[in-house]
Amino acid sequence: MKLHTTNILVIFCLGIFTVSTVRGSAASQIVPRSSCIDLATQKLDIRRLATYETQNIPVKAVMFITKQGIKICVQPDLTWVQDAIKFLDKKRPALGRPRNKPKSKPKQKSKPKPKGN
């Protein structure tokens, strides 16, 4: 009889474990591979920045990516961060607009008509 009670208790525990695993928890949320957890406090030289990404999870932050590929996370509400974002946005070409003007094709000269004899 004790073996039967133990089996029921094990099945019950497995059921609770399965339900909690399926529902997930805060620790099981998917976090992007490159996400900000710690934020830098030092002002960055905007001339060395290549691009940026914003994020809200796990913390609200802006991730600046330098020309060397280094990723640095900072608080998005700082004045210099907003200025850096504006600077980088101006450097980006507008979507759908070509960077260089397309060259126009040279006009073909029409051949003179041969005069009849």
Buried b (16+ CB within 10 A) or exposed e, 71-107: ebbbebeeeebeebbeebeeeeeeeeeeeeeeeeeee
**Which pLDDT belongs to residue 97?**
46
Residue 62, number of CB atoms within 10 A of its CB: 21
Place of tokens 């980006």: 92
- What is the assigned CATH class of domain 31-92? mainly beta
**HSE of 54, CA atoms in CB hemisphere, 13 A:** 8
pTM of this prediction?
A: 0.52
Domains of the chain by residue range: 31-92
From first to last of the 117 residues of the chain, give the pLDDT tens digit. 566 777 776 676 556 555 555 455 545 455 456 788 888 888 999 889 999 999 888 889 999 999 999 999 999 999 999 999 999 998 876 544 444 444 555 566 666 666 665
